[in-house]
Chains A and B, each alone.
Chain A
């Protein structure tokens, strides 16, 4: 199993001087499902934005052996499918088809391939037949699924999701968990939802104040109530 994500001593400071990341080291193997947990403002989203080069810090991030730099950007964004927390940001087109097709079209696929990728991606999230619908007419649960389909359509090697279950009711949440279980690529999931972590991830990384404070098996982290309390994840 090769390493698909290699991050060494990554630090990042926002233009306003706020330090988002301080010396983060993270290695992820192919096929792993890693949970990224931590209190608000711990730097989870900041770290995710480094995985496909939207933000770039002081040291090099390597994705599937490729360094994240201007030259490899296109290839890396194809390999890393990043789903944003708010589906209103992820779904910016006037219909579902155009949104799911956005990635494949930018890859320069032919019309027939694009259609195939779109219908496969929508089937993958149990939303087949939603192509002509407008995103603003969908429920929040539907929007979350379509948002995942918009990156699945480009066949990513690594699926990176920010808060997949925020704002979802329990039923939508568990059906989303089932759906994520069926996706077999490497997954990085940033969340506060410890039920989701227990159900889905075999490894958990805890972040706080821009640093990784723990990186162990999910079971040993969720059982370590002192650790969770120290970082605002349990009372």
Chain B
């Protein structure tokens, strides 16, 4: 069996900083924050009243009224970002209307808003609105299935849910299908729309959300000693994958290759991270990529700004990279975009690909106080050039989810 190299030829991005890579990427480089006060539901009983809301997303731009009524917000985000990624890739309908084209999407909360609406309709004894579309709208595979319906992709159609690593695992799995010849083109990534009153309240009980509501843009402080938790967000990050040969043959723009993928389970605790499981995911990704740790030029961290993750992730990076860990720029784009759960891995892989393509590394913002447990170079002084002189630009994206679900993806600029 021939093992093929996997190219990324299209990107789609919807984040709290905007809609489309062309809007989000410059804002990320400028170190802007997309975190703001929640204003579409009552937050008076919550301790955290801020989130990363995609305020620039207008469903009407992508869907008609009837489609909107059948799609949960998560599916709207997923499909709109997919639309942008496909247009970016230059693939035409005929190349997607095929059993050789598939979809793997990741989500942590699925059709959460719709689930809450339908629960309310049921529990309020007929006061709420009954609907025959409740199940098709809220089922976890709604996004990937609706993508297939819209673009007629008849190949593998799978939804991955591994908490905060869903999007990364989706992309890793999709890359495997291309690599081993089970598909010719894959749409992959993550989407989540978890900002609801019920979800915010549930997170409140875990005491892991930042409560720095008075200054939303500065609330998320990954790796800083005064960090106090993550900021919940929504969004979608989608890539189009195909073999390198196929991309070269049709003259497509190649952002980078998906070189390696490591996926492990901590097998430790349902919420506490374990640096050993995380380190193994990193090592597995490097081994799968066939490269040495020395060859990594940039790490896009999971970097949630919780006390536990940031310390555990720093430890994991040191276990794999040793002293060289101190020379690799490590930034957390969650400092600007918040934590979009199942979308995060997809969004951050898109950001890492943009970093490779543009030769610029995004910053970590809101880094204020050094922490002895987090002593790496977190790019706290603003965006900077991608380190050169170490071969083709190579980046790594970490995603470490609840349940100890770890996914790491290694990406490399295509060597000429």
Partners in one complex: no
Give me the interface of B with A, judged by CB distance under 8 Å: none
Give me the interface of A with B, judged by CB distance under 8 Å: none
